[in-house]
Copies of this chain bind each other. A is one copy, B any other.
Amino acid sequence: MSDLFLTGIGHLTTNHGDPIRDAVVAVEAGRITYAGTASDAPNQTGRRVACEQRAVMPGFVDAHTHLIFAGDRSDEFARRLAGETYTDIATGGGGILATVAATRRAAEDELFGLASERVWRMIRSGTTSVEIKSGYGLDTATELRLLSVARRIGDELPVTVKTTFLGAHSVPPEYESDRGGYVDLVIEEMLPAVQGLADYCDVFVEEGVFAVEEAQRILARAAELGMGARIHAEQLGHTGGARLAADIGAASADHLDHATPDDAAVLAAAGVTAVLVPGASYTLRSPQAPGAMIEEAGCTIALATDCNPGTSYFESMGPIISLGVVSMGLGVDSALRAATHGGAVALGLQDRGAIVPGAWGDLIVLDAPSPAHIPYRPGTNLVWRAFKEGTAIG
């Protein structure tokens, strides 16, 4: 939490009104005190950084990741490209369950090491806040270990972390013929155990995974324990997860590849953020979510990496913004806003994702004249400097 004074900003995206040219940003004790034209700026004594007409924008808020895991599934990636389906691979012991097996075997320090390398790469590509889900344990001890690692990342790395318990990510092998028993375990044992470690609870609602009614029971218990709700909804088919998210007032409905206009309308009416993850559809070669339709229906949209070892091993938000624009059809400004302000809304981080007085000084300076260069130049990490609560990173 430092003082900072960014000068000579060629293009300032505040997410609150039009971009400002020839701008400065002042941060005191980690919080933004001024963001506007240089001519109206107050005197400032903090560390000065001359931006030399570069663009400045809020740091990225990545609202959906599964980044704590062990094992290597690059072989499966090649197999899927050679024609095997996600379901084929999952049925053969690959997919999520391969990662579960490797993750259960990994000690906490190993998981922390692997995950912090990933998060450092995220930070160096401009991410200042990240959601981290559990869900590769599927037993109480491992789920607790994953959430502890997620908390430790937030404590030890310069990034804001929100944690999500995703025990209902898949049915573990030992409950293969007793899904109801596993749902009971999630509700009766896991949820009370993770209270305090998990800010949110998420359920993978999908044909063959968890049903709407099961998700409803799990998320109701989570709410009693003080956790917010998120739902993996309408990814591989249409099963009603989006409507459930609206019914229970979830913080977000995520994926939404098969969302209908009716889904979008109820999500918008309920104030549920639509978290769109174009890296997954890219990797799976499946149609992208109807992002523009969802946005036009009035939803707040967020873009996220969905960082995971099976279907979207993206660590950086730049390529995700590019996919949001080029493949999903979002406008450039919409995609940039979704990757910052939208993510902050999805995670309940009201004082992040915008450069306005009072907000935390989570800022990135781009080596480019405008943030439109992010989708325009998808292969290049354009982050020139990053600041977390006013402190330079790296």
Contacts and interface: CB of A to CB of B under 8 A. Distances in A.
A239 B315 CA distance: 41
Contacts of A313: 376-378
A380 B316 contact: yes
A279 B326 CA distance: 11
Interface size class of A (residues with CB under 8 A): 35 or more
Interface in A284-330: 285, 305, 313-316, 318-320, 325-327, 329
A60 to B, nearest CB: 12
Contacts of A379: 125, 279, 305, 314-316, 318-320
Contacts of A315: 377, 379-380
Contacts of A325: 81
Contacts of A81: 325-326, 329, 331-332
A71 to B, nearest CB: 11
A277 B74 CA distance: 24
A372 interface: yes
A283 interface: yes
A121 interface: yes
Interface in A324-343: 325-327, 329, 331-332
| A72, A121, A369, A377 pick with most chain B CB within 10 angstroms | A377
Number of copies: 2
A72 B285 CA distance: 32
B372 A74 contact: yes
Contacts of A314: 377-380
A379 B339 CA distance: 15
A77 B316 contact: no
A74 B121 CA distance: 26
Nearest to A380: B315
B331 A78 contact: yes
B326 A282 contact: yes
A232 B140 CA distance: 59
B283 A121 contact: no
Q: Which 10 A-B pairs have the closest CB atoms?
A: A316-B379, A314-B379, A319-B379, A74-B372, A313-B377, A74-B376, A77-B376, A78-B332, A315-B380, A315-B379
